[in-house]
Amino acid sequence: MNGIPVARILGFEIRLHISWLFIVAIVTVTVAGRITQFQPEIDPALTWAIGLIGSLGFLVTVIAHELAHALVARRDGATGSVLVVHFVGSPAPIDVVASSPRAEAAIAIAGPLTSLVIGGILVGLAFSSLSIGSWAGPLADVLLIIGALDLLLAGVSVVPAFPLDGARLVRAAAWARTGNERAGTRIAGVVGKYAGRAAMIVGLAIILTGETLDGIMVGLVGWFLMASARSVDRWLILDDLIQGMSVGEAMEKDLATISPQLTLDTFAPGIIDGTVTPALPVLHDDVLVGIIGLAQVRAVAQRNWSSTRTEDVMVAKPEMPTASPNDRLTDALERLRQSHLDGLPVLDGETLRGVLTRRSIAALLHARAEARGQAL
């Protein structure tokens, strides 16, 4: 699975994207530098401590932001139990759609509102603590830093462009107006393109004022939003291609199975170089007991492959979702995305029929696109 597991809260396994290592470092250095600039008499060790505590505190509030999304989505019927926390937005927000426009808007706004409330409370506490005495200065600095970052996060989150929450709000509004979720997604993509262009123009204007670095950063944000908006068009093409398709049409049928007692060195090289299925079902007495894929293999150092058994690292029930040959491909694809696995076992009752993998889906989509004369 993606991310580093750090906690389990309210039934969700919280995982931090690797980018947080850099974000914490950047925020710590930036905050320490700003405090030194405005308070040159402060002890350097204290500035670094304030910066680190502030960055870690901000991380906690970002987790709260994402939990707010997840809890509202759970009320709407979402079944995912793994929450991968990125800095802002989600790596795949386009295909995460609620059951109705109202639910879509509620899920989208839950995060920014949480950040806004947290930020307002912390900023208020920061100014209140200054009245206690000068000794509360470092505490006020930490509270103000975290609060200001949360207010910034709340503002950035509602920018109407994927992968930000604002795009989901636009989609919800357009969906409600048109009665069509796909039309809502398309409109949100168009709005995102204009938001990206606006950010690039603002970045250029900032550069012309002499603030080159800030202008470049804003311009890069605009370029990122433009790229994300273009991905909406690609997603709509893909979504159109899989409409009406079943898991049985897309799954890999010719596959090997392995025993729980096998050591990784007997099959891991084949998974890595792509000569075998990206996800191998694990059978014990002809009964499916788990699945192992590239993510599980890479989590074990190669020097330990010969001493690590499949059962030690495989994904087993209840964490292992499955599909049936007659399931809609759109539903199974979302299940696969939420699981962060390399493949879903496809069962007909208790009988293993195949494995649905991203590779098999991609091959089918490319074949279908070529038949239609479309480019992916």
pLDDT of 247 over the 80 cut: yes
Query: For domain 247-372, which architecture applies?
Result: Roll (3.10)
At residue 65 the predicted structure's pLDDT band, cuts being 50, 70 and 90, is very high
3 vs 207, more confident: 207
Angle, CA 147 vertex, CA 167 and CA 124 arms, to 5°: 125
pLDDT at 72: 92
Q: Which tokens go with 79?
A: 């079944």
310-368 residue pLDDT tens: 999 999 887 788 999 999 887 888 788 777 788 899 999 888 999 998 888 888 877 77
Asked if 309 and 262 count as a contact pair (C-beta separation under 8 A), the reply is yes
At residue 228 the predicted structure's pLDDT band, cuts being 50, 70 and 90, is confident
376 vs 300, more confident: 300
16-59 residue pLDDT tens: 888 788 888 888 887 787 777 767 777 888 888 888 888 898 99
**At 223, which amino acid appears?**
W
Task: Give the whole-angstrom CA distance, residue 160 versus residue 186.
Answer: 13
| Contacts of 22 by beta carbon, 8 Å cutoff, 6+ apart | none
At residue 13 the predicted structure's pLDDT band, cuts being 50, 70 and 90, is confident
Mean pLDDT, residues 4-21 = 85
Percent of the chain with pLDDT over 70: 93
66-102 residue pLDDT tens: 999 989 988 988 777 778 887 665 544 445 568 899 9
Any idea where the domains of the chain sit in the sequence?
A: 4-242, 247-372
Task: Give the whole-angstrom CA distance, residue 216 versus residue 210.
Answer: 11
pLDDT at 87: 66
Task: Give the whole-angstrom CA distance, residue 211 versus residue 227.
Answer: 24
Q: Which residue has the tokens 């809890």?
A: 71
